[in-house]
Amino acid sequence: MFNTFGFNPMNQKFPVDIMMTLIIIADDLNRGTMSRIQAESKILALIIDNTDQIMIRLLQCVKSMVELLPLTNQKKESKEFELCTGYLQPCFQKLLDCDQEQLIFRWLNTNCFLDADADPNKNRPDGVFENDLMAIGYFKVKSIKHARNRRKINMDPHRLYTQSKAGTINQKTYVLDSLL
């Protein structure tokens, strides 16, 4: 069963016991033998037992994904727009926001979710990690139709890298307003 998730216990960059527990929880949720509330309580127990801050943040992200699941299993197809805005955005928010460093994650361009024909080669980033003074990092979202075209997938991150490098060289700190 664990091989279907692509998890190799010999490559231990992630604790095996936690990963196995999460895989069992996901499998039980998928089969309907565990309720969403039971899954949340098991993940919460993992969070309480853990002391590593990165692991706690990852487990909180998994818990927030489980919290977003409907109380009853639905077999209806979910469209990409619904998945990204309703499911992935809150998970990224939980994973990437950092209270200690005052970092927030926010979308700059939601056209990547709204418009199926949006030009994927726009220079504008789709999202940003920032604090009150400056942008820390940018990201792009690509349509699934461009998944096999490596050139289109890699072109925008290359442009964003070039833009941020030029901004850093020209100004010692680059403020978000000066780039947008």
User: Please, what's the b/e burial string for 26-39 (b: 16 or more CB within 10 A of its CB; e: otherwise)?
Assistant: beebeeeebebeeb
pLDDT at 25 over 80: yes
| Amino acid 62: pLDDT | 85
Q: What is the pLDDT of residues 57-69, one digit of tens each?
A: 888 888 887 887 7
**Are both 144 and 81 inside the same structural domain?**
yes
Domain boundary among 44, 59, 74: 74
**Are both 167 and 84 inside the same structural domain?**
yes
**What global pTM score does this model have?**
0.44
Residue 64 · residue 89 · CB < 8 Å:
no
Helix (H) or strand (E) holding 106: strand 104-107
The better pLDDT of the pair 125, 176 is held by: 125
The better pLDDT of the pair 81, 22 is held by: 22
Domain boundary among 50, 74, 98: 74
**Are both 160 and 98 inside the same structural domain?**
yes
**Are both 54 and 106 inside the same structural domain?**
no
**Closest C-alpha to 25, from 40, 10, 15:** 40
**Are both 113 and 66 inside the same structural domain?**
no
**Are both 108 and 176 inside the same structural domain?**
yes
Domain boundary among 23, 40, 74: 74
**Are both 70 and 115 inside the same structural domain?**
no
Q: What is the pLDDT of residues 86-130, one digit of tens each?
A: 555 566 665 666 666 676 766 665 554 444 555 545 555 567 767
14 lies in which domain range?
A: 1-74
| Amino acid 170: pLDDT | 47
| Amino acid 41: pLDDT | 92
Count the domains in the chain: 2
**Are both 136 and 161 inside the same structural domain?**
yes
Helix (H) or strand (E) holding 105: strand 104-107
**Are both 2 and 60 inside the same structural domain?**
yes
The alpha helices in the chain, defined as continuous H runs, are 16-31, 36-49, 53-67, 80-83, 89-96, 111-114, 150-170, 176-179
**Are both 68 and 91 inside the same structural domain?**
no
Residue 147 · residue 153 · CB < 8 Å:
yes
**Are both 83 and 32 inside the same structural domain?**
no
**Are both 168 and 86 inside the same structural domain?**
yes
The better pLDDT of the pair 30, 174 is held by: 30
